[in-house]
Amino acid sequence: MKPRFFVTGFTVVLFILAVAVLSVYSQEDVTEVNDSIFGKRMRPSAVFQHEEHNETAEIDDCTACHHLYEDGELVEDESSEEMECSECHAGEGKGYPMAVVNIYHTLCKGCHMEQKAGPVMCGECHRK
């Protein structure tokens, strides 16, 4: 009786561990479009699956979204991935969030409309 109980208990523990490990590794690469310039929001941040988005849209160049300019010139082979958009796109002085909102909408929504693919309505990106 004891060996059977031990084998059953051991099997249950292994199953629970396997489920836990698989759930950790199955987490999708979800990106939240966020910037510290935003205060209270009317809608939640836009979220999307970064890798899936880029594969589907066939985007291989990070600078398509994460571009970097110096003195009005695009810096080739440099990315702004570690920066917030408001560092360059703050608009009318620091603390002006609508300039950043407009940049996101121009870049993201504009590309979706141009490609005739992807969400363009508010609630499709900003899910409550």
> Look-up: residue for tokens 């620091």?
94
Q: Which CATH number is 47's domain given?
A: 3.90.10.10
- Output the six-digit token pair for 26: 């199955």
The answer to whether residue 61 sits within a structural domain is: yes
Q: Provide the residue range defining the domain that includes 115.
A: 28-125
Structural domain includes residue 13: no
Report the alpha-carbon distance of residue 50 to residue 32 in Å, rounded: 9
Query: Is 104 inside any structural domain?
Result: yes
Q: For 44, which DSSP code?
A: P
10 lies in a domain? no
Q: How many domains does the chain have?
A: 1
Q: How do the residues of the chain divide into helix, strand and coil, expressed in percent and rounded to 5?
A: 45, 10, 45
Percent of the chain surpassing pLDDT 90: 31
Which has the minimum average pLDDT: 8-22, 57-71, 74-88, 108-122? 8-22
Output the six-digit token pair for 83. Answer: 């920066």
The answer as to whether 121 is a domain residue is: yes
Give the pLDDT band (50/70/90) at residue 26.
low
Pairing of strands 73-74, 46-49: unpaired
